[in-house]
């Protein structure tokens, strides 16, 4: 994998991690209620849950490449369409954070376990990875090294972004809970998803 492709993936992974989703909500909620130190356990849990999805996607895509290059190409184009569709959905989404009924005496272990389940039970994560990974995989090169690079990059970036959200939430609780702010975030990242999908489509035209 050359550096240009990797850097392009880094940009896509940053957009993916920053976009409001269940992991983001989990991190912000924990940061607001428990502070950044205690919330570190939840960040580790989120990455463990995502790592399971990455392994499943990697195994599946590797098998697909081995069986049919045409099917892999089809998945690429479906992925482009999904990114655009996801962007439109994010643009239209209105969400707020509700944390009134929380147990403030919860342990770090419990936060970790909850976070693992948040990502494990989020089908959007695996669907997004299936849409994203093929755009950056060269089928003429060995698959495993490429998947390891993409997977580890995803986890490192997502962990950093979740830490950012946790720290931000612990300092600016009221501002982040604003429905207006969440709507603006959704529209910003919705536009980015649409842009990513369009750029990937043009690159294959």
Average pLDDT, the chain: 77
* 140 Cα distance to chain centroid: 27
Could you give the angle at the alpha carbon of 92 between the alpha carbons of 89 and 94, nearest 5°?
110
Confidence check: pLDDT of 55 > 80: yes
The 10s digit of each residue's pLDDT in 13-35 is 888 888 767 677 778 777 877 77
Kindly report the pTM of this predicted structure: 0.71
Confidence check: pLDDT of 185 > 60: yes
Model pLDDT, residue 83: 67
- Show contacts of 137-142: CB within 8 Å, 24+ apart: 137/61, 137/65, 138/1, 138/5, 139/65, 139/69, 139/72, 141/1
Q: Which residue has the tokens 């495993």?
A: 144
Nearest C-alpha neighbor of 41 from the set 186, 170, 139, 166: 166
């Amino acid at each position: 994998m050359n550096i240009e492709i990797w850097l392009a993936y880094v940009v896509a992974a940053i957009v993916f991690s920053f976009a409001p989703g269940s992991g983001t909500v989990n991190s912000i909620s924990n940061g607001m209620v428990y502070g950044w130190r205690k919330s570190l356990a939840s960040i580790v849990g989120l990455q463990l849950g995502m790592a399971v999805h990455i392994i499943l996607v990697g195994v599946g895509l590797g098998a697909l490449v081995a069986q049919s290059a045409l099917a892999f190409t089809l998945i690429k184009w479906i992925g482009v369409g999904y990114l655009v569709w996801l962007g439109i959905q994010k643009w239209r989404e209105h969400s707020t954070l509700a944390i009134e009924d929380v147990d403030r005496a919860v342990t770090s272990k419990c936060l970790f376990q909850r976070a693992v389940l948040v990502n494990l039970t989020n089908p959007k994560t695996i669907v997004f990875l299936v849409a994203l990974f093929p755009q950056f995989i060269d089928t003429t090169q060995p698959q495993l090294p490429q998947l390891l690079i993409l997977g580890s990059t995803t986890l490192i970036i997502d962990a950093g972004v979740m830490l950012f959200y946790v720290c931000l939430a612990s300092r600016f609780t009221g501002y982040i809970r604003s429905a207006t702010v969440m709507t603006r975030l959704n529209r910003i990242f919705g536009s980015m998803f649409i842009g990513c999908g369009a750029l990937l489509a043009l690159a294959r035209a």
